[in-house]
Amino acid sequence: MIIGTAGHIDHGKTTLVHALTGVDTDRLPEEKKRGITIELGFAPLELPGVGVAGVVDVPGHEAFVRTMLAGATGIDLALLVIAADEGMMPQTREHLAILSLLAVHGGVVALTKIDLVDDEWLALVSEDVRAALAGSPLTDAAIVPVSATTGAGLGAIREALGSAASRLPARDPDDLFRMPVDRSFTVKGTGTVVTGTVWSGSLPADANVRIIPSGRVARVRGIQSHGTATSRALPGARVALSIAGVERDDVPRGSWIITDTEWMPAKTLRADVALLEDAAPLGPRTRVRFHLGTQDVGARIVAAGGALGPGTIRGARVLLDEPVLARAGDRFVLRLPSPAATIGGGRVVDPMPAVARPRPWLAELTLEQRFEAMLAEGAGHGVAGRGLAVRLGVAPAAAASLAASYPGVVGTQDGRLIARAVVDGASARAAELIAAHHRQAPLDPGMPLAALRSALAVAPSVVELAVASLSAGGVIETVGAAARIAGWSPSLEGPLGKIAEALSERLSAAGREPPSVAELAAELGTDPRPVLRFLERTGSVVAVDEDRYYLASELAALVEILRGGMLDGRVYSPAELRDITTLSRKYLIPFLEYCDRHGITVRQDTGRKRAGT
Ligand SMILES: Nc1nc2c(ncn2[C@@H]2O[C@H](COP(=O)(O)OP(=O)(O)OP(=O)(O)O)[C@@H](O)[C@H]2O)c(=O)[nH]1
Ligand SMILES: [Mg+2]
């Protein structure tokens, strides 16, 4: 369980954490010198009845809100620190807005430095604070007066944190593992160490992890939680991972540590976005900073229905400068780069849209409705089963059972989920296309499957399903790499039959010296090749080369003459072979080459001899 501090500069966050935990988290020389927090600080806090919580101490300086965000992301409870002498200040409000945008579960307000104010003032400030909390996750939070100097109220803070912690929802250890990196450093003798809060899932020591965005795979050498070695990183814990084989620069803050291949960074997200009440309207061309986890990238927000105004929640497309690793339900914060200001934020609705320009979906959509929208959007390609848990924002088991509970959804061989209606549509269309192919090419043995695949606008694995279901239903049959309507066979009917007759007559009359394909085309006034190829398949003609067909019986007779005229083992010159066959040179050479290819003759330097002699 993680508690994050929040609040204006100098209001006493670090001093309070020190008083509660005994750890001074301001360790940098520059922090000591300036008396302010610059980097995130971490300390374990024992809470009675809860166990050890991790405390993340953040800076309050307005220049370090980015660092505060990196610390606040993934916290369970907020410890909002407000100095009683100053009350609500600008970063008190900005941090409170960030806690709201991140949808932190709850927390406690520490009204510190009460040793500096009287009771009357304390009551006034308290009232003021209560009003400012309205509508935030701290609306009903305990407001605890405390002094780190005198120690007054420290017990009450612990109690209030313990009671808020007991109301937190449980986490699923079997979810996908994901951890945003908030620090990385090199430890002498150990190597690269990264720290972070485990957002979901768990990680065994020795696991292989993937680092995003670098994509590198590395092995975890050891896991520590609050300085103690542990065999498993659990969801919601603060952990330090020592990672083999990577430099600290390969895993800077903003990286993610993941284990599953379900995750996929994307440059376009669907999200619900809202601006803070005091923000100026946001158009689609304004550049903003998008903060999710410890990631911080440039982005533009294209909201449905034009510029986004403050207050209302709207569906939007988030266009990112760099890929972001997100999951449905993730919260993010939007800031303007200069002058730096937090302007709003929202919730990821679909982290991996399957189309380039996704239309926003509404946040109120149920899990089922989002799944159906994905199916509809995927159309002939369906939804990739891998990544579904990330797109839906639920544990893998829940995503799988959702998909399985849909009677109208079938799985393809390559792991897609697709509406049965789409497969049925593809099947009907495939049958039509095959029948049309028969009409257009009645001499073809069937429609090549490759042609069928490119004619149907569906994933190849869906074509396989359609062909399988048509085959099983006895509608079509496949022959080699082609499909035909069951029982159909090519035949020469009607005008094609006439062409076939004319060709046979002509080739028969021409005997051993038949006309070329071009000459036949000129004589018949039509391209004879489809019919010639058909006759070739049925065995009545033979192509000696691609331009010349023989009647099969004529060619066979010619081969016999050649064979009969050659003695075993003797090499014949072309002139001798011309004398044997009495073919003119124009016919002789293609014929001899045909004989070489078909193992009738063997070519040698000076001529040819009979094969096998
Ligand atoms: N009198 C009094 N002074 C306090 C108390 N708590 C903190 N201080 C003083 O307030 C000053 C700022 O305290 P920090 O704890 O550094 O404040 P912070 O909120 O961590 O500041 P940043 O991290 O820079 O935002 C220090 O000089 C503290 O000694 C308190 O309860 N009473
Ligand atoms: Mg501090």
Determine the Cα–Cα distance for residues 230 and 238; give it in Å rounded to an integer.
Answer: 12
Ligand 1 and 36: CB distance under 6 A: yes
Which residue, by CA, sits nearest to atom 10 of ligand 1?
Answer: 12
Cβ atoms of 545 and 536 closer than 8 Å = no
- Compute the distance between CA of residue 469 and CA of residue 422 in angstroms, rounded to an integer: 13
pLDDT of residue 380: 87
CA atoms of 390 and 262, how far apart (whole Å): 7
User: Phi then psi for 330, rounded to 5 degrees?
Assistant: -60, 140
Biggest CA-to-CA distance, the chain: 130
Spatial separation of the C-alpha atoms in residues 594 and 167, rounded to whole Å? 88
Pocket flag, ligand 1, residue 95 (CB < 6 Å):
no
CA distance 39 to 249: 18
Ligand 1: which of 9, 14, 79 to mutate, most ligand atoms within 8 Å of CB?
A: 14
pLDDT of residue 408: 84
Sign of CA dihedral 458, 464, 465, 467: positive
* Ligand 1 contacts CB of residue 386 (under 6 A): no
The Cβ of residue 168 has, within 10 Å, a number of other Cβ atoms equal to: 14
Query: 46 CA distance to ligand 2 centroid (A)?
Result: 20
Q: Indicate which residue's Cα is closest to atom 24 of ligand 1.
A: 36
Nearest protein CA to atom 2 of ligand 1, as residue? 113
With 90 as the cut, is the pLDDT of residue 48 above it? no
User: What is the Å distance from ligand 2's center to 19 Cα?
Assistant: 13
pLDDT at 207: 93
Tokens read off for 31:
């922090």
Query: What pLDDT does residue 412 have?
Result: 87
Give the separation between CA 394 and CA 174, rounded to whole angstroms.
Answer: 11
What type of residue sits at position 490?
P
Contact assessment for residue 185 and residue 251, using Cβ atoms and an 8 Å cutoff: no
Predicted confidence at residue 65, as pLDDT, reads 94
* Nearest-angstrom CA–CA distance, 345 and 333: 4
CA atoms within 13 A on the CB side of 556: 7
Question: Which of 221, 190, 195 minimizes the C-alpha distance to 71?
Answer: 195
Binding site membership of 59 for ligand 1 (Cβ less than 6 Å): yes
Residue type, 172: D
Query: How much is the pLDDT for 29?
Result: 93
Statement: the pTM of the whole predicted model exceeds 0.85: no
Kindly state if the Cβ of 38 falls inside 6 Å of ligand 1.
Answer: no
Q: Which atom of ligand 1 is nearest to the CA of 11?
A: 19
Which residue is listed with tokens 């080739």? 507
Q: 215-229, pLDDT tens digit by residue?
A: 999 999 999 998 899
Instruction: Measure 154 CA to ligand 1 centroid, in angstroms.
Output: 15
Note the pLDDT of residue 445. Answer: 85
Residue 353: pLDDT over 80:
yes
Residue whose C-alpha is closest to residue 290's, from 325, 331, 333, 329: 333
Q: What is the mean pLDDT of residues 302-310?
A: 89
Ligand 1 atom showing the smallest separation from residue 147 Cα: 31
**Residue 480 binned pLDDT confidence (cut-offs 50, 70, 90):** confident
- Taking the CA of residue 58 as reference, the ligand 1 atom at the shortest distance is 23
The yes-or-no verdict on residue 170 having pLDDT over 90 is: no
Mean pLDDT of the chain: 93
In short, whether 149's Cβ falls inside 6 Å of ligand 1 is: yes
pLDDT for residue 362 is more than 80: no
Which ligand sits nearest to residue 59's alpha carbon? 1
Nearest Cα to 69, choosing from 342, 346, 349, 267?
342
Segment holding 500, helix H or strand E: helix 495-510
Query: What's the whole-number mean pLDDT along residues 106-131?
Result: 97
Structure tokens at 94: 């900005």
Q: Is the pLDDT of residue 161 over 80?
A: yes
Find the ligand nearest to 13 CA.
1
Asked whether 37 lines ligand 1 (CB < 6 A), one says: yes
Of the candidates 386, 347, 388, the one whose C-alpha atom is nearest the C-alpha of residue 370 is 388
Q: What is the pLDDT of residue 62?
A: 93
Share of the chain above pLDDT 90, in %: 79
